[in-house]
Amino acid sequence: MGKSIFKTEIKKIDGTATTLGDYEGRVLLVVNVASKCGLTPQYEALEKLYERFKSRGFEVLGFPSNEFAGQEPGSNAEIAQFCEMKFGIKFPMFEKISVKEGASQHPLYTQMIQAQPKATPSADGKLGKSLAEHGLAPKSATDVMWNFEKFLVNRRGEVVGRFAPDITPDDPKLVKAIEAQL
């Protein structure tokens, strides 16, 4: 049995301090997001996934990060406005954090990566190949690859899955993993 993430301290996008304990007993999909990324349209699919399963105890939690080619340069207020205006996001959003390995990595990501060191790759692996070609590949095999990597957390707060950024929110592999936890 893994360690629960529910005691992890975080801040909502408005700066309010809280913990993930607010979501205890729910299935979570934790995603590092960005508003200027080729994968940004996943916001729409994440919202649909949230709407589809929220009545069954499911939450999508968005954590903006500006560590991948500067694709999230906005302030927390600008990010919140963008998500609401462009995609009608209703799922919880949190303060911009560091998700990459290193001294500034947020404890939530340190803990999730320890629990799930490697992501399930996409079927074609195109994103990983493209990042490598452009010198943007992760520094280590356990590091978050890019924006929109997804961590699946069960109702006990244990990380039970990790999915590459180019596995879309409506990918049957991800949906099946979520349904198995619900």
This prediction has a pTM of 0.95
Give the pLDDT confidence score for residue 4 in this predicted structure: 84
The pLDDT of residue 123: 87
Positive or negative: CA dihedral 5, 52, 165, 173: positive
Q: What confidence category does residue 115 fall into, taking pLDDT thresholds of 50, 70 and 90?
A: very high
83 as an active site residue: the answer is: no
Instruction: Quote the CA–CA distance of 57 and 155 in Å, as a whole number.
Output: 9
- Quick: pLDDT tens for 54-101: 999 999 999 999 999 899 999 999 999 998 899 999 999 999 999 998
Do residues 147 and 65 touch, judged by C-beta distance below 8 A? yes
Q: Are 36 and 149 in contact (CB under 8 A)?
A: no
Q: Tell me, what's the pLDDT at 10?
A: 94
Question: Using 50, 70 and 90 to split pLDDT, how confident is the model at 102?
Answer: confident
CATH dotted code for 9-181: 3.40.30.10
- Tens of pLDDT, residue by residue over 158-169, are 999 999 999 999
Strands 9-11 and 159-163: unpaired
| Cβ within 8 Å of residue 142, ≥6 positions away | 101, 113, 117, 118
Residue 1 has pLDDT above 60, yes or no: no
Name the token pair of 156.
């006990």
Rounded percentage of the chain residues whose pLDDT exceeds 70: 99
Catalytic residue among 27, 30, 37, 159: 37
Q: Is 164 left (phi over 0), alpha (psi -120 to 50) or beta?
A: beta
Find how far residue 64's CA is from the centre of its chain. Answer: 8
* Tokens (6 digits) for 19: 């913990």
Residue appearing with tokens 């992760």: 138
pLDDT attached to residue 3: 76
Which are the contacts of 179, defined by CB distance < 8 A and separation ≥ 6? none
Which residue carries 């949230």 as its tokens?
50
Q: Compute the mean pLDDT over every residue in the chain, rounded to the nearest whole number.
A: 93
